[in-house]
Each structure stands twice: as structure tokens, then as C-alpha cells.
Structure 1
Amino acid sequence: MQLMMVLDGTVASLALARIQDDLGLSDAGRNWVITSYALTYGGLMLLGGRLGDALGRKRVFIGGVALFTIASLVCGLAFNEATLVAARALQGVGAAIASPTALALVATTFAPGPVRNQAIAIFAAMTGIGSVTGLIVGGALTQLSWRWIFLINVPIGLVILIFAIAALAETSTERLKLDVPGAILATLGCTAVVFGFTEGPEMGWDSPLVLAGLIGGLALLGAFLAVERRAENPLLPFSLFRNRDRVATFIAIALVGMVMFSLAPFVALFVQDILGYSPLRAGLAFVPFAFGLGAAAFVASKLAVRVPPRWLVGVGTLITFVGLLYGSTLDGSATYVGNLFMLVVGVGFGVGLAVVPLPLCAIAGVGPHEIGPLAAIAQVAQVLFGPVGLAIVGAMATSRTLSEGGVSGPAADMTASQLDALSQGYTFALLGCAIFAALATVTALFVRFTPAQVAQAQAAEKAAQQV
């Protein structure tokens, strides 16, 4: 399941150009293919974890995988923008239900000690394997048809369901009052804000619908905060945010999430629409990013207990900023060896330095009972703010393209001058990503956790997995 979720997130970016050409999506519709999944996934993830505790993790896991599989089938058979976006949102709901219970099921299925440690290591390795193989397999499948990147989930999902029903044991349940209003308000609020930013360039920023989305979204998020203050079992306990260093950590996590989520689609579109790469070649071109990230993550895991985390995060996001700033100067004459290779590796390395210390800072200096909620909130901050970042840089890209005489729509139908305008829009989006990276660099300076606190968090995290 973990491999399938990672693959699905990776390959969707590679397929955007083909999907836009085939279904005739607008630029806003193209962005919704990515954001609709992440909004429901991030917005409902905390609630999904509570469902497992309240209804039984096996039952909830099977339900989430079944919904994800059915939604994948609908995605693969989609015939227009509305069908695809709605099915992607349902995929996100399925992932939000299944994903939070998966690691907990590993812990309850395998006995403590070497066996469970090996199982957890295999589970964690799926993220790295999926990010690399997803680029290659996803590129190859998209080469045949973009529909296969979704249809491939159907047989995988059926196999997961068969083994889950046969092999997993049901867990005990707890009597919990679920914070359904909070989950709905958070998801709808972020969706409305994303709608405003996504549709603004094409509908006009003074459009009543765009203004309603932006203002209404902020109002819904305000209502979410009010509900959380009174909720009996809130998704977002405010007591966890009393530490200023932790607040700075969550802001940095959100900003890095915005960079990572926004970067992949526009680089994938640039190399396919502007440089003429096939989906498979585009996927292979991204592989060095995963290796750069992995190398930096290895280095950061060793240095995190010796070097103040603000310097690791600050250096990592600064490297990312410089790489993206350079990327924003590229045009249709760029070559892979001369321009893109070092950019892809360098940005991957920068991101890798940042993503290891930040989750540890999120749980630094807290008791064992607070590790789970804080780690979950950190994950939600990264996932849920990603679509907001994509909406902002997407608005920047579309506005720049239109201002340069370009048009919204499939690149295959554009003239040379319109393609040049499209290229400027894509690279302007990278400038937006660079700004997020710069803000993350500044925010990192306010994270004052010590290496000793990070080492303690690292040990507490390992101990929590073995309980």
C-alpha cells in the first residue's frame, strides 16, 4: 500500500502534459489533477487515524484501500476534467483513511524486536523505492497511455485487499468522539483558498467566484480554529503549539512542503512541453533528484545529533533557493547535461538536508504520548500546504504566460510564440518555489532546538515504534 501511494503521487506529475493534451484541460484544471488528491488526503489524514482507533484498524485499512482502488479505476476511465478531478479527490479520501493505519498495523502484526524492526525498515524503504521506480515505471506507462498510471493500481489494490483480509488481525477499538466538523472545515477552507488562487488568473481576480473562494476559505479556516478550541477530542490540540521553536518548525515544514509539491509538476511540464522530452525520458531525468535527496538525507541523519538543526535546514533550503533561482532563468535552449543535471541533483540534495531534521524538531522535547500527534500534524502540514503552494505558483505561471501573449491549454496546439510565453510561465513558477525556499531559510533561523534535543527525539521516535 505504501508503495502504491508513493507511486501515485510521483507519476501524476509526469502524466500532466499528456492528460492536458488528451482531455483538453485548462491550466487551472491541470493543477486540480494534483491538488484535489492532496487536499482530501492532507485534510482528512488526522481524522483517518482516529477512525482506525475508533472502528478497528483492519476494518478501516481495508475500507480505505477499497475506496482508493475504486477511485483509481474511475481515474483511469475518466472522460473529462470533472470526472478526473472528482475521482482524484476520492483517491485522496481513500489514502487518508488507509495510510495512517498502515504503520500502526505493522506494529500490531509483528512482535517487538528484530522482526518488527525489519518490517518497519521495509515499510520505510517503500518510500525511497517508490520515488525512484515511480519515475521510471510511471514514465513508461504514460508513454503507452496516461490512463495506465491509475489503472495499474486496480490489480495492486485487489491483491492488497485479499492479503489484508486473510493475514491481518483486527485491533481493539476505543470510544472516541471524532472531530468530524474540524476535518471538514479544514479541508473545505484549504480547498476554497486553493480554488481562488487557481482560478484567479483565468477568471479574473475581481471575479465574484474567486473573491468568494479566497474570503470564504479564510472564514472557514477561522471557523476551524474556533471549533478546535471547543472540541472534546480536537484534531489540532493548541497545547502542542506553546513552544515557539516548534511553531517555527511547523512553518518551515509547511514551506518546504510547498516547494516540493510545486516543483515537480512544473519541471515535468517544462521538460515535456518546452524541451520535447517523452514521459519516460522525463522520468529518467528526475532520477538524480531522488539520489541527491537520499545522499543528503544520509548525511543529515548523521549530522542532526551534532549540528544545530537550524543550520542543516538553513543550508539545505539555501541550496534549494539558489538552484531554483538558477532554474528560473532557463529557456527552450536548455540542455540536460549543461543545465538540468546539476540543478536536479543540487535541489534534491538541498531538500534532503532539510527534510530529515524538521520532523525530529517537531517532536523534540515532548513526552512519549505527544510524539504521535505531533508527528501526524507535521505530516499534515507538509501535505496540506503543498496544494496551497501549487495554487500560488500556478497562478504566477498562468499570469506570466497570459501577460506574454500566451494562452491556456494544451501545448500541442500552440504556436512558437505561445510556447515561448508558456516557457516563461513555467520558469516563473520556479521563481515562486525559490521564494518559498528563501522564506524557509529565514524561518529555520528561529528553530532553536539543540543537537541533544534532536538526538533525544530520534531515540524517542525509535522507542515509540517498538512499543
Structure 2
Amino acid sequence: MSSTAPARLHTRAVLVIILVSYFMILLDNSIIFTALPRIHSAMHYSDTGLAWVQDAYTLVFGGLLLLGARAGDLLGRRRVFIVGLAVFAVASLLVGLSPAGWSLIAARGLQGIGAAIVAPSSLSLLTASFPAGPARARAVALYGATAGIGSSLGLVVGGALADWVSWRAGFFLNVPIGIAMIVLAPRYLPETTTKRGRFDLTGAICATVGVGAIVYGIIHAADASWTSPTTLASLAVGLGLVVALAHFERGAAQPIMPLRLFVSRERVGAYLGRFLYLAAMIGFFYFGTQYLQGVLGFSAFRAGVAFFPMTVVNFAVAMAIPRLTARLGLGIPLATGVAATLIGMWWLAQVGVTSSYWSAVAAPMLFIGAGQGLAFAPMTSAGISGVDADDAGAASGLVNTFHQLGMALGLGVLVTTSANSGSHLTSAAAVLTARVDTALSAGSVLLALCLIVTVALVVVPGVSVRRPGLTSLDRTQPIPTDGPALATAANK
């Protein structure tokens, strides 16, 4: 056996551990969608209460991402990665065992803590394990492919398990996977160097609790009213904490969210655009799977498979992005991608009780998939452009934070907006269709705002100039963390 064989085996083991761990998080994040109707029935949630099954996860995940990345810097990525896996595995077990709706939501929040620790640590460990060049490019390409496959496969796996076993089975699946990765990680993963510093707990608490209070106020308005004392108090507390966050970060010695990152119009446009884009897209998955099962009569498994038109086109377009940006720059694909998603979302918002899957759902999914493939990579590049090496991690973290918080806040807005739609109708299918139409129409408005923001702040100022962020994978460049952007970066 050659002397390089053990090293090759070692790097393969590192890659497997990181990819499987990341796959587990992505699988869990999408497995919930096709299981939602079963969870709704089993846990006796209200329509607005069901939203917290997803929002509890995305809120905590997004709110603690920057703190999770900071923890890896100070304590060592491998150590933090293992702790995150343990938290995620335990939380998954608690989700599967949840006897009541409140305990399920609490366990989903705990899963968000684990995911916020594992996700940034996995990226750092990947770059620490593979030197800049072809080896790292291949590793990142596989990481990106895992993102796309995990998200899509989660819809199918979640549906299959919900149909054939139980909606709880998908969460139990994480436990043996998590245990296996915890056992293997100390043996194969390298430990990164630690830094001296402090945690910005004040910033993390203000961000998470502040946005959580705003989301709670929005969702509560659907059950009560916008003038309810609880609604007004929640919104006031949330907005107050967000203002406090900006104040504390201005004076923090080691801020979790450096305010200097917001001086660039381009980056601000990328953050706001991503927030609005994901606020709309969460409605596509959340309401789309309910329409497929509750109106068209698809099984949970078939509903998962029904998203494949979007997935296939998304992946194909993402792979073609390097050639497109080489010819057109980044601005045109970004604007075209958001516009294509808007067309698909508006088309999908016209579904009716008797609509055909192929013409009313699958066809607009092609536009949505193409739009995602075109928009994500340029949006990611704009969010990390022009930052110093010291701020690279924080900039990448903000991209992901706005991603997750956009999903959480967007779902709250869409659920509240559609809550009373169709209340005059007698057919359950007609009521659900009315809610889906209203939610996706509201999602179209969010995408229209996203198009305005990205064109005004990102495209017009000159993003069409080719950027090195998508062509370099050395350690001085922040690595994009969404699937299409990763795949694009690795193949360019």
C-alpha cells in the first residue's frame, strides 16, 4: 500500500463525516414539510399554531448562527461540532417522542440550537481539512450537491415515512446517524486553532428574542387581532430589542454583527433581498405541500415527489451559472432569477380546487426552480463582497442569518395574511385553496419587493462586474453556504 493511501482514507473519512452531518440537518429541515398535515392532525394544532413547528426551528437557527460561528472560533471547531451534533441528536429524539404540541415546538427550538452550532463548524472544518485548490473545490462541490440533494430528498423521505410508518420516524432517523458521527468525529476530524476573545451574548439574545417576539406578534394577530394587547406588546418588545441590538453592537468590543458590514449598499441589498426572497419561498413549500395533499389528494410521499420539477431545474441552472456569469456578469442573472421566481409564484397562486397538477403546479415550479438557480449564487456573492478577511466569517454568517430569519418572519406574515381567507366557504378543500391562493399572492408581493430592492441596491450599482468571490476558494474568501452557490463556486 502506498504512503498516500492512509492520508487519502483520512480525508475521505473527514468528508463523509461532514457531509453526512450536514445532510442530516438539511434532511430534517425539509422532512417536516410533507409531514405537516399529519402533524397538524396528530397534535391538534390550529392553522397558526402549526406555523411554530417550522418557525421555532428557523428562528433559533438563524438567531444563533453568528454565535455558533463565534463559539467555533474561540473553543475549537471540532469540539463545538461534536457538541452541536449531540444537541441535535437529543433534540431529534425529543421531537419524535413529543406527547403534546408545546413539547414538539420546544424540541424543534432545541434542534435549531444544534443546527446553528453544526452548520458553521462544518464549513470551517471542511476548509481546514482540504488545502486550497482542486481538492477543496471537489469537497465544496460535494458539499453543495449534498445541500441540493438533502433538501429535495427530505421532502420525499418525510412523505414516505409519514405514509408508511409515522411522521415521528423521520426524526428518530437522526439519532443513530448523530451517534455514529459523534463517535467518528474525534478520530478523524482535525481540531482548529482557538482564539482569545469573548462571546457577544447580548447581541445574540437581542437578535433571537427580538425577532421571535415580532414573529409571535404577527402570528398572534391571526388568532386575536392587530389591536390585541398581546399582539401590540409583542411587536413593541421585538422592535425595542432590535433597536437595542443596533445600539449594543455599535459599542461592543467584539460584536457578533459588525455594523460596518452595512455601510455597503450592495451588501445591504443582498441581505434585504435574501430576507424577502426566503420569506416568499417558505410559503411555497409550506402551503404547496398542504395544497397537494389537502386539495389534490396526493399522499405525503407523492407530494414530496411532486416537487421534483423545481429541484431538477434548480440544480441544472445552478450548474450553468458559471458560464452565464462569465458572459453576463452577476447582475443580469440575479434580476432574471428573482423575476422568474415571481412569475412562477404568481402563476402558482392561481390554483383552484379542480386544477391539474401538471398545468397549475408543475409548470410554475419550472420557473421557480430556474429562478432559484439563477438568483442564489449572485445574491450570496453580493452579500460577502468587498469585506476584509477579519469580517469574512461575520459577512457569511449574516447571509445565513437573513436567510433563516426571512423564512421565520415570512411564514408568520403569510400564515396571518391567509388565516381568514375562505372563511365563508363550506368545503374544506375550497377553504384551503383560498388560503393557499392568498398566501402565495402575498408571497408574490414579497418577491416583487425583492426585485425592486435587488435591482436598486445590487444590480444598478454595478454587480454586473465579475466578482472574484465566486471564483476563489482560498481561506481569505468567505465560502457561500447555500447549496446552489456552493455548487457554483466549486465548479467555476
TM-score (norm 1): 0.93
Structure 1 residues 466 and 207, CA gap change in structure 2 (3 angstroms): closer
Written as runs of structure 1 = structure 2, the 5 A alignment for 1:393-432 is: 393-401=414-422, 404-405=423-424, 417-432=427-442
Moved over 6 A (4+): none
Structure 1 residues 462 and 424, CA gap change in structure 2 (3 angstroms): farther
Residue by residue over 1:287-345, the C-alpha shift from the partner in whole angstroms, topping out at 9 and shown as x without a partner, is 11111211222233322243243322222111211221122221110111232111112
Whether 2:51 is the aligned partner of 1:39: answer: no
Pick the aligned partner of 2:240 from 219, 227, 239. Answer: 219
Pick the aligned partner of 2:216 from 174, 187, 195. Answer: 195
Unaligned runs of at least 5 residues, structure 1: 407-415
Q: Which amino acid aligns with 2:424?
A: G
Residue by residue over 1:117-167, the C-alpha shift from the partner in whole angstroms, topping out at 9 and shown as x without a partner, is 333322222101212322222221111210011111111111111111222
* Alpha-carbon distance in 2 for matches of 1:431, 1:462: 42
Once the two structures are overlaid, the 10-residue window that deviates more, 107-116 or 282-291, is 107-116
Pick the aligned partner of 1:301 from 322, 329, 339. Answer: 322
Equivalent residue, structure 2, for 1:267: 288
Q: Is the partner of 2:467 in helix, strand or coil?
A: helix
* Alpha-carbon distance in 1 for matches of 2:56, 2:269: 27
Q: Which amino acid aligns with 1:459?
A: T
Aligned-residue offset at 1:112: 4.5
Equivalent residue, structure 2, for 1:411: none
Written as runs of structure 1 = structure 2, the 5 A alignment for 1:53-452 is: 53-143=73-163, 144-401=165-422, 404-405=423-424, 417-446=427-456, 447=458, 448=460, 450=462
Equivalent residue, structure 2, for 1:457: 469
Residue by residue over 1:169-213, the C-alpha shift from the partner in whole angstroms, topping out at 9 and shown as x without a partner, is 322211111111100110001100110111211122222111111
Q: Which amino acid aligns with 1:297?
A: A
Aligned 8 A contact 1:251 1:443 in 2: yes
Aligned 8 A contact 2:137 2:473 in 1: no
Structure 1 residues 13 and 422, CA gap change in structure 2 (3 angstroms): same
Once the two structures are overlaid, the 10-residue window that deviates more, 109-118 or 95-104, is 109-118
Aligned-residue offset at 1:224: 0.9
Aligned 8 A contact 2:343 2:367 in 1: no
Pick the aligned partner of 2:47 from 24, 27, 31. Answer: 27
Once the two structures are overlaid, the 10-residue window that deviates more, 309-318 or 51-60, is 309-318
Aligned 8 A contact 1:240 1:374 in 2: yes
Residue by residue over 1:51-109, the C-alpha shift from the partner in whole angstroms, topping out at 9 and shown as x without a partner, is 01111111111111100000000000111110000000000001101111111112223
Aligned-residue offset at 1:461: 4.5
Unaligned runs of at least 5 residues, structure 2: 1-20, 480-492
Whether 2:23 is the aligned partner of 1:3: answer: yes
Equivalent residue, structure 2, for 1:409: none
Aligned-residue offset at 1:237: 0.9
Q: Which amino acid aligns with 1:435?
A: V
Q: Could you say what the CA RMSD is over the residues aligned between the two structures, in angstroms?
A: 1.9
Aligned 8 A contact 1:364 1:454 in 2: no
Q: Which amino acid aligns with 1:437?
A: L
* Alpha-carbon distance in 2 for matches of 1:451, 1:378: 17
* Alpha-carbon distance in 1 for matches of 2:465, 2:388: 12
* Alpha-carbon distance in 1 for matches of 2:132, 2:472: 16
Aligned-residue offset at 1:453: 4.4
* Alpha-carbon distance in 1 for matches of 2:345, 2:54: 21
Q: Is the partner of 1:25 in helix, strand or coil?
A: coil
Q: Which amino acid aligns with 2:436?
A: Y
Q: Is the partner of 1:306 in helix, strand or coil?
A: helix
Aligned 8 A contact 1:131 1:290 in 2: no
Q: Which amino acid aligns with 1:321?
A: L
Aligned 8 A contact 1:258 1:390 in 2: yes
Q: Which amino acid aligns with 1:97?
A: I
Aligned 8 A contact 2:353 2:429 in 1: no
Aligned-residue offset at 1:113: 4.2
Q: Which amino acid aligns with 2:50?
A: R
Report the identity percentage: 34
**Number of residue equivalences:** 456
* Alpha-carbon distance in 1 for matches of 2:215, 2:228: 15
Structure 1 residues 128 and 187, CA gap change in structure 2 (3 angstroms): same
* Alpha-carbon distance in 2 for matches of 1:234, 1:427: 42
Aligned-residue offset at 1:466: 10
Equivalent residue, structure 1, for 2:18: none
Aligned 8 A contact 2:261 2:395 in 1: yes
Aligned-residue offset at 1:259: 1.8
Aligned-residue offset at 1:465: 6.4
* Alpha-carbon distance in 2 for matches of 1:387, 1:92: 12
* Alpha-carbon distance in 1 for matches of 2:404, 2:463: 26
* Alpha-carbon distance in 1 for matches of 2:414, 2:43: 23
Aligned 8 A contact 1:245 1:449 in 2: yes
Q: Which amino acid aligns with 1:71?
A: A
Equivalent residue, structure 1, for 2:71: 51
* Alpha-carbon distance in 2 for matches of 1:129, 1:85: 26
Aligned 8 A contact 1:196 1:211 in 2: yes
